[in-house]
Structure 1
C-alpha cells in the first residue's frame, strides 16, 4: 500500500473516531447532567468543545509523553519537586517551621472541630 492511501485511511479513521467520541460525550451529557445536576443540554459542537477543553486541562497542549525524558532531573524527580526541595532545604529552621505551620493551618482544617473552624475562618 502506498503512503498516500495509508495517510488517507488514517485521516478518515481519526475523523470518524473524533465524530463518534463527540456523539458519545453529547449523548452521555444530555442523559446524565440535566437529570442529576439540573444542568443544560448541550449541542454536538459544545460536546466537541468539551473534548478539546478536557484534553487541554488534563494532558496539556502537545506535551504528552515527550516531556517525560527532559522534564525530569538527574535524580529522576520532576523539576518542580527538586526546585521545592532546594528552596525548602535552604530556609532557616525557624522559617521552615513557620512555613510548615502555615501549610498545616491552610490544608489540615478538617482536623479541627466545627467551632474552632468557624473561629479561624472569621479571623482570615
Structure 2
C-alpha cells in the first residue's frame, strides 16, 4: 500500500511539473507573440512567465478561487474553503435546518418529508411510478 502511495505521489508530482511547465510556456509564448508588438515591452523568459502566473494568483486569486485568494474587493470573505461565493449562505441554511430538524418530533419529521416529496414531485424530480395520495384515492373508484 505504501509503495502504491509513493508511486501515485511521484506520478502526481510529475504531472504537476508538466502542467506548470506547459502553462508557463503558453504564457511566455503569448506574451512574446503579442505584447512586444502591441505595447513595445521586452520579451520574457519561461521563468518570468511562471513568476507572472504566481503574481496574478496572488493579486487576483485565480485558479479556482479557494483558500488563499478567495477574498473580494475590500477583503470581504465570500465563503470559506471550497464553499465559494454563495456557499456560505447555503451552509448557514443547512445549519439552521439541521437545528430545526433536531427539535422536531418524529411525526413532524414525517410530515415535513412528505411536504418536500410533494414539492419535488411537482417539479418532476419525484418518482413517477409512485402515485400521490390524492391519485390513489381517485383510482379506487
TM-score under structure 2 length normalisation: 0.45
- What does 1:1-124 correspond to in 2, within 5 Å? 2-59=4-61, 62-64=68-70, 65-66=81-82, 68=84
The ranges of structure 1 where at least 4 consecutive aligned residues each deviate by more than 6 angstroms after the TM superposition are none
Distance in 1, matches of 2:39 and 2:58, equals 24
Structure with greater contact order relative to length (CA < 8 Å, sep ≥ 6): 1
Distance in 2, matches of 1:47 and 1:22, equals 5
Distance in 1, matches of 2:41 and 2:35, equals 5
Distance in 2, matches of 1:54 and 1:72, equals 29
Unaligned runs of 5+ in 2: 71-80, 94-141
Count of paired positions? 75
Change (3 A) 1:62 1:39: same
Deviates more, 1:59-68 or 1:16-25: 59-68
Distance in 1, matches of 2:55 and 2:29, equals 17
Residue 63 of structure 1 and its aligned partner are, at CA, apart by: 4.4
Distance in 2, matches of 1:55 and 1:23, equals 17
Change (3 A) 1:71 1:23: farther
Change (3 A) 1:2 1:25: same
Distance in 1, matches of 2:20 and 2:10, equals 15
Residue 16 of structure 1 and its aligned partner are, at CA, apart by: 0.5
Unaligned runs of 5+ in 1: 76-124
Q: Which structure has the greater CA radius of gyration?
A: 2
Change (3 A) 1:63 1:51: closer
Distance in 2, matches of 1:6 and 1:73, equals 33
Superposition RMSD on alpha carbons, in Å? 2.7
